[in-house]
Structure 1
Amino acid sequence: MKKRKKRITVPVIMQMEALECGAASLAMILAYHGKWLPLEQVRSDCGVSRDGSKASSIAKAGRSYGLEVKAHRYGVDEVKENVTYPAIIHWNFNHFVVLCGFTKNAAVINDPARGTIKVTMEEFDHSFTGVCIEFTPGENFEKGGKPESVFKFLKDRLANTTASVIFVMITAALVAFVGLVTPVFARIFTDQILPGHNMHWLEMLLVAMLFTAIFRMIVGFLNEIYLYRIKGKLAIVSNASFMWHMLHLPMDFYAQRMVGDLAGRQKLNDQIAETLIAKYVLVETKAPEGYVRSEKEESVIFAYEDGNTKEIEITKELTNERIPTGGYSNSPKTEDDTNIWLPFFLLLLSVGGIAGIIWYTKRKNHD
């Protein structure tokens, strides 16, 4: 019996749609072996349609990338003894996942829908259908590409909102600073004034507490205003950019996807803005890039309906021509006009106010 690793670490690539599990699993296998490809390209090579993808299509796509592919039907014990990780296994008769190995009492899998998870051996035995596809690099396999950088991703998406983000971060830091000062006031009152040691500090302390409360109220108010301002701007720009890009995609893009998936992507723009704005990280959601307009005219109708918006029908000229590199960049943009010096002014004002209170108190005591 060959000695094997208990588990390995495989890069996680999440599926964008429910039917992309096979393509996402193959993309993870390729990434583990050093070949990083866009999920959209792997999806196309796997022939994903509205019915999903077949194991034979995944194996064929793997061979086209230079991988040696072996498909087996194993039991649970045979998987633990014979499989070379990572491997793609069929799950619950309707899903593909990447098997990363086993621990003492569990199996470790990369689920394109949930990420890296551990499942008990009982659940593994119940969900594993027996189909296992192994991949090993062949002579024609070539490493290439690189994982997307989070910093580059954020830089691109924050290009027109940098000043607003800085403003929000500064005001949030000022609010946090005021929160640290408040317990100091309570300690001074308890240790110095309440026992009667320094009763002459009472007037100065009350004035300082009042000034601090006003300062926190103003800064907190500005922070909330700009949070909602950035969130609204992000939602508007990302939705406009998303629809602009969607209207320039070829007909085969829509032929492979369900209406619900496309509508769900559109709604994600608002959800992302709502979720990420609290963490001061803003991101713009777009459809797959790389398409331009051509002379061929096609038509498509989008139907978007929710509880607050009437049904909207849009007909737009589409394209079937794809450019080799780059993306479609003529999408709506919004410039950022945030005044980031305002919180600095408030900070100087607060420092000056506290200094003035101290000077006034000392002068009064001297007189």
Structure 2
Amino acid sequence: MAAVRAGRGRARRVPTILQMEAAECGPACLAMVLAAYGRWETLDAVRDSCGVSRDGTSAADIVEAARRRGMEADAYSRDVDGLAALGLPQILFWGFDHFVVLEAVGRDGFVINDPAHGRRVVDREEFGRRFTGVTLTFRPGPAFQRTRRPPGVARRLAAVLGGSWGMFACIVLTSLAMVALGVVLPGLTRVFVDDYLVQGNREWLLPLLGGIIAIGAFRSVIAALYTRGLLLVQTKVTAVVSARFVWRLFHLPYDFFVRRSPVEISARTQYAGQLGGIVAGPFAQTAVNVLAVAGYVVIMLLYSVAMTAVCVGFAALELLVLRLVTRRVQDEAVHLQMAAGQAHSAAVRGAALLEQARVNGSETQLFSHMVEAEVRLINSEQKSGWTTRMLMALPFAMSRLTTLAVLGVGALVVMTTETTLGTLLGFLMLSGLFSASIGALTGFGTAIGQSTAGIGRLGDVLDHIGAQDDADDAGRPPLPLPTGRIALRDVGFSYPHGQPVLSGIELAIAPGECIGIMGGSGAGKSTLARLVVGLAAPTRGTIRFEASPDAGTDAWVPKCDAVGFVDQAPFFPKGPIRSALTLWDAGETDEDIARALADAELLEAIASRQGGLDGQVGENGVGFSSGERQRLAIARALVHAPRILVLDDATSALDEDTEARVLENLRRRGATLLLLTNRASALQHMDRVMALHGGRLYPIAMEEAHAAARASMSSILAAAEQQL
């Protein structure tokens, strides 16, 4: 490839920072460019600065975010041949729906750093087809400030150990003991050859045999202790990281899950096991091998300086090759991780769309989509596997070359000096141990390269800056119970750099009051529901709940317990109906469940099923009709006896008679009810009705609501229009 051009004419390698969702490609590219110039920021921080919305971000937002960080950023329209003259790195608008970093320009291709797939080389034909002509350039300005590089993978692995340092130290000590015992064998070998075989000192035989047997026995015992320690550390680290990962998920904001695939998030749990294996295996061995290499060099110098120089030279060559190939291993690991996630997601989506594809006659297209994802995964596996196998063969090949070189040099040393044959054989054993330790260091480098992407995806959850503080959850008092009174004061919500979805919402709800809010599709009903139940935070104003007098807290609190919520698309895990209703809470009695089912008008339907509450519900409610799934979701919310219940279009699949009975049952419970719907028929069962239109709430007279219930939703919205 031709010489690489970079900003101000100087070559600059760009670190790979992966996007965690489709809309993050722009912030990820900016984070890569900032890091290339020495300013390291988390993807979350850059994302917030770029104002990423559900539709992604724009080139103008990226430029503005870079300028706020002291960069001189500009946007240009250029053809392919004019890019190199602008200086590198650049951010390119790619395929009209993506951003990538242009890292190098060559005669035959371009090196791009893709936040979705990692670094790769693109030929001129593909580059010309995908490049849209828009490029962003960056260079540090006077106000630009560099920051400290974030912790690397090794430091993350060390942090993972936490309370396992004691067991980790035992592993290191037992490994050092095995190394020390191994060092004794070359000395015994030298004595056996020089004193017993050459000089014929027969009295050495029994002590030598006894020493070899004793060393073998001690090594066996220590090896057993070492293996047990490895398993304990691996099990503990895996359990701790997995538990912390899952617990952390419960403290992440709702928009984290909106922007990420559930399939991809669940796939990250497997990285916890890989992390435990690395910590208990290559990471634990690295400390031992570094000390062992230093010890072997000192001992080998006592045998022969010349032969030691040969061993050290080949070891340096092996480590140099590892350093050169590690970046490629990391890039291919990134490709493999992304391809695996895409293939898994394609398989899950394909299974979910199978019925629809059969109805539409699009099985061939669906099959092609799934096969393409699988082919990309296989190609990534083959490419990554070739590099990994080459690295795995490297220690073996270098060890054999080292042995041959030592034999050659050793033969000259034996013939020209007083060095004995036993010394040469003992040194060969030491050089073998030395090469094994160097090979283990090579294996650690390979494992680090392969795990970088996975650890980064774990960090996306564990280090998310938007997560609620869960450091002291165990010591916190429980949330207070509400009276049912809710106050929304000047509540507004908007996505970053976007138009307000809600603005100036004023609403006071009395305990036990039933409020109906009508709005068309896209009016913001679901957003308002999530604000009330705490799944999202308002960007303006406050939402407060009146706490019970015996709660021992302030009269008005931002969060409370005993709030039920049913959204438009409830999810049910596969398993017993009882578990789907209680969510594995053993404290809920059959009486509580029966009452909830009765109020949801589903008790008879469940009782008539085989097994009753112990009958099975399929994945996501398979085996139940749409109306039954909605009533099952309502029953699940009622099982825990909420004092506030929020229904987000949760009766849309019910017929009017069933809907009326369910809503009347909810009224009799006495809980505060907030019903958000686009069905006018549900409003006649409410105490008050309001219309959500243009991001604002407008009160509607009950007479108009009853009249609209007999007509259509447009009647209510028309009344709201008159108040604008």
TM bucket (normalised to shorter chain) is: 0.5 to 0.7
Residue by residue over 1:81-134, the C-alpha shift from the partner in whole angstroms, topping out at 9 and shown as x without a partner, is 2x2222112456665332233356654444435655666666655664543221
Alignment check: 8 A CA contact 1:87 1:134 kept: yes
The alpha-carbon deviation at position 204 of structure 1 amounts to 0.5
Which residue of structure 2 lines up, in the alignment, with residue 292 of structure 1?
468
Residue type at the aligned position of 1:146: R
Residue type at the aligned position of 1:288: H
Change (3 A) 1:302 1:187: farther
Q: Residues 200-349 of structure 1 correspond to what in structure 2 (within 5 A)?
A: 200-280=203-283, 286-292=462-468, 295=559
- What is the DSSP-based 3-state SS (H/G/I as helix, E as strand, rest coil) of the residue aligned with 1:280? helix
Aligned equivalents of 1:298, 1:182: Cα separation in 2: 71
- What is the DSSP-based 3-state SS (H/G/I as helix, E as strand, rest coil) of the residue aligned with 1:292? coil
Aligned equivalents of 1:9, 1:218: Cα separation in 2: 49
Which residue of structure 1 lines up, in the alignment, with residue 79 of structure 2?
75
- What is the DSSP-based 3-state SS (H/G/I as helix, E as strand, rest coil) of the residue aligned with 1:291? coil
Alignment check: 8 A CA contact 2:21 2:259 kept: no
Change (3 A) 1:157 1:89: same
Residue by residue over 1:205-232, the C-alpha shift from the partner in whole angstroms, topping out at 9 and shown as x without a partner, is 1110111111111111111111111111
- What is the DSSP-based 3-state SS (H/G/I as helix, E as strand, rest coil) of the residue aligned with 2:148? coil
Aligned equivalents of 1:120, 1:114: Cα separation in 2: 16
Instruction: Give unpaired runs (5+ residues) of structure 2.
Output: 1-6, 285-447, 449-454, 470-557, 586-724
- What is the DSSP-based 3-state SS (H/G/I as helix, E as strand, rest coil) of the residue aligned with 1:31? helix
Aligned length: 308
Residue by residue over 1:302-353, the C-alpha shift from the partner in whole angstroms, topping out at 9 and shown as x without a partner, is 9999xxxx999689xxxxxxxxxxxxxxxxxxxxxxxxxxxxxxxxxxxxxx
2:44 is the alignment partner of 1:44:
no
Aligned equivalents of 1:304, 1:50: Cα separation in 2: 28
Aligned equivalents of 1:234, 1:250: Cα separation in 2: 26
The alpha-carbon deviation at position 273 of structure 1 amounts to 1.6
Residue type at the aligned position of 1:244: W
Q: Which of 123, 142, 145 is 1:143 aligned to?
A: 145
Moved more, 261-270 or 58-67: 58-67
- What is the DSSP-based 3-state SS (H/G/I as helix, E as strand, rest coil) of the residue aligned with 1:35? coil
Which residue of structure 1 lines up, in the alignment, with residue 494 of structure 2?
none
Taking structure 2 as the reference length, the TM-score comes to 0.37
- What is the DSSP-based 3-state SS (H/G/I as helix, E as strand, rest coil) of the residue aligned with 1:160? helix
Moved more, 115-124 or 145-154: 115-124
Which residue of structure 2 lines up, in the alignment, with residue 356 of structure 1?
none
- Of structures 1 and 2, the one scoring higher in RCO (CA 8 A, sep 6+) is 1
Q: Which of 169, 184, 187 is 1:181 aligned to?
A: 184
Residue type at the aligned position of 1:32: A
The alpha-carbon deviation at position 17 of structure 1 amounts to 4.8
Change (3 A) 1:199 1:238: same
The sequence identity of aligned pairs, in percent, is 32
2:36 is the alignment partner of 1:32:
yes
Q: Which of 10, 13, 23 is 2:27 aligned to?
A: 23
Change (3 A) 1:203 1:34: closer
Aligned equivalents of 1:247, 1:94: Cα separation in 2: 32
Alignment check: 8 A CA contact 1:175 1:219 kept: yes
Which residue of structure 1 lines up, in the alignment, with residue 62 of structure 2?
58
Change (3 A) 1:216 1:117: farther
Alignment check: 8 A CA contact 1:263 1:304 kept: no
Taking structure 1 as the reference length, the TM-score comes to 0.68
Residue type at the aligned position of 1:147: R
The alpha-carbon deviation at position 194 of structure 1 amounts to 3.5
RMSD value, Cα: 4.0
Question: Is the helix fraction higher in 1 or 2?
Answer: 2
Which residue of structure 1 lines up, in the alignment, with residue 163 of structure 2?
160
Q: Which of 10, 13, 19 is 2:14 aligned to?
A: 10
Instruction: Give unpaired runs (5+ residues) of structure 1.
Output: 316-367
Change (3 A) 1:153 1:201: same
Which residue of structure 1 lines up, in the alignment, with residue 397 of structure 2?
none
Residue type at the aligned position of 2:145: K
Aligned equivalents of 1:229, 1:68: Cα separation in 2: 52
